[in-house]
Amino acid sequence: MMDHAITLLLLTLAAGTPLVFAALGELVTEKSGVLNLGVEGMMLVGAVVAFIVATTSQSPWLGVAAGMAGGAALSLVFAIVTLSLHANQVASGLALSLFGIGLSAFIGLDYVSVIIEPIRPLTVHGLPDIPVVGVLLFGHNPLVYLSLALFAAIQWFLSRTRAGLVLRAVGESPQSAHAIGISVVRIRYLAVLFGGACAGLGGAYLSLVYSPSWAEGMTSGRGWIALALVVFANWKPWRVLAGAYLFGGVTLAQFQAQGMGVELPSQYLAMLPYIATIVVLAIISRNAAVIKQNAPASLGRPFHPEG
């Protein structure tokens, strides 16, 4: 039983990790007041670029870096269209997803049959063999640790640094931020690029670690779930983390039950996270003070200093 619990925990962490990357990135983007619905496209581009670079360079870590660059490059398109050219963010984000899905499939055509050596879990000699704690602390993939580090960094950045404060100010009230001399557009560009890089990293995790291969549409909607997650988390990093593991864990728990012969209608279970998100959202937004603290007030609104 203990073994089961540990395995389930390990699997849950592994399943939640791509969501952690993508959702944390989107959180930072949204904190600056920009809603980028193109996460699915950016993840896919990240996945394919990471895969191509990792196979041609034989260096998975170079692949990870390239995946981030790929995601960021795609988000740059979004940034130019929405921030410099003032197009609607919702429509542009959806168009970006369409574009990213097509682009990734297109550049990945010659790589669908390529085999890759995945990034393996760290094996610090002997450590994972310590009962229970060993596996839980040392048995993960390096990218899982990276996702936790990213979480800590973002948490610290948003709550403890001046730059984090500036980012939040831009998302809260771009007009006042502009008035005190902050370059709103520059900050938003950086936030969008960061979000793109994180989504690309989530994609790289999928193609290099989680199911090491490239196939069209291999993210299977995880980008959309990441979007839901940010809201579910009420724009708090630690809740993104918890939510990602919850989303990943629900599926796994359902699989565990199935394997043991317990019948649960999968559609009801699959609905749960979305319904839970709506309920949580409704409850937190009833309390205006809570939502005000966290949700960026200018989310989705274009900004131009003169109008």
Partner 1 sequence: MTRLSRRTSLATLTACALALALPASAQPKAGEPLKIGFVYVSPIGDAGWTFQHDTGRKQMEAALGGRVTTKFIENVPEGTDAERVIRDLAATGHHLIFTTSFGYMNPTIKVAQAFPNTKFEHATGYKTSKNVGIYNARFYEGRYLAGIVAGKMSKTGIAGYVAAFPIPEVVMGINAFARGLRSVNPKAEVKVIWVSAWFDPGKESEAANTLISQNADVLTHHTDSTATMQTAEAKKVYAVAYHSDMSKYGPNAQLTAVTHHWGDYYTRVAQSVLDGKWQQDNVWGGIKDGMIKLAPFNKIVPADVQAMVKKAEAEIAAGKLSPFTGPMKDNTGKERLAAGKTITDAELSRMDYYVQGVVGKLPSSK
Partner 2 sequence: MMRIRLEPRAEPSRFAGWLSPMVAAVAVVLIGLVLFSLMGRNPWHALYVFFIEPMNTLYDAGELVLKASPIMLCAVGLSIGYRANVWNIGAEGQLIMGAIAGGGVALAFHDSDSRWVLPAMFVVGAAGGMAWAAIPAFLRTRCNTNEILVSLMLVYVASLILSLLVHGAWRDPEGFNFPQSKMFAETALLPILVAGTRLNVGLFIALAAVAAGWLFMQRSLAGFQMRVAGLAPAAASYAGISSSRTVWIGMLAGGACAGLAGVGEVAGPIGQLLPVVSPGYGFAAIIVAFVGRLHPVGIFFASLLMSLLYLGGEAAQMHLALPSSVTGLFQGTLLLFLLATDVFIRFRLRIVRPPTAATAA
Q: Which residues of the chain form contacts with partner 1 (CB under 8 A)?
A: 3-4, 7-8, 11, 15, 18, 105, 112-113, 115, 118, 206, 210-213, 215-220, 222, 251-252, 255-256, 258-263, 265-267, 270
The 10 Å Cβ neighbour count of residue 137 is 11
Q: Which of the listed partners (partner 2, partner 1, none) does 212 bind, with a CB threshold of 5 to 8 Å by partner kind? A: partner 1
DSSP code for 140: S
**Cβ 74 to partner 2 shortest distance, Å:** 10
Q: Which of the listed partners (partner 2, partner 1, none) does 88 bind, with a CB threshold of 5 to 8 Å by partner kind? A: partner 2
Among 5, 7, 58, 106, binds partner 2 (CB under 8 A): 106
Calpha distance 74→46 (Å, rounded): 9
Task: By CB under 8 A, tell whether 58 contacts partner 2.
Answer: no
Among 191, 231, 233, 246, binds partner 2 (CB under 8 A): 231
Among 5, 57, 58, 98, binds partner 2 (CB under 8 A): 98
Residue closer to partner 1 by CB (options 36, 219) is: 219
Task: By CB under 8 A, tell whether 293 contacts partner 2.
Answer: no
Instruction: Mark residues 244-283: x for contact with partner 2 by CB under 8 A, - for none.
Output: ---------------------x-xx-xx--xx-xx--xxx
Tokens 């390990």 map to which residue? 10
Q: How far is CA 214 from the centre of its chain?
A: 19
Q: How far is CA 53 from the centre of its chain?
A: 21
Calpha distance 274→286 (Å, rounded): 18
Instruction: DSSP for 264-280, please give it.
Output: --HHHHHHHHHHHHHHH
**Cβ 281 to partner 2 shortest distance, Å:** 5
Query: 111 φ, ψ to 5°?
Result: -115, 5
**Cβ 194 to partner 1 shortest distance, Å:** 24
- Total residues at interface with partner 2 (CB under 8 A): 55
Task: By CB under 8 A, tell whether 285 contacts partner 2.
Answer: yes
Among 24, 101, 158, 246, binds partner 2 (CB under 8 A): 101
**Cβ 284 to partner 2 shortest distance, Å:** 8
Of 50, 17, 60, which is closest to residue 147 (Cα–Cα)? Answer: 17
Burial class (CB in 10 A: 0-12, 13-18, 19+), 261: exposed
Calpha distance 100→191 (Å, rounded): 19
Instruction: DSSP for 29-70, please give it.
Output: HHHTT-----HHHHHHHHHHHHHHHHHHHS-HHHHHHHHHHH
Tokens standing for residue 153: 């960094």
Among 58, 59, 86, 186, binds partner 2 (CB under 8 A): 86
- Sign of the CA dihedral with 231 first, then 235, 237, and 239 last: negative
Residues of this chain that interact with partner 2 (CB under 8 A) are 35, 37, 41, 77, 80-81, 84-88, 90-92, 94-106, 109, 216, 224, 227-228, 231, 265, 267-268, 270-271, 274-275, 277-278, 281-283, 285-286, 288, 291, 295, 299-300, 304, 306-307
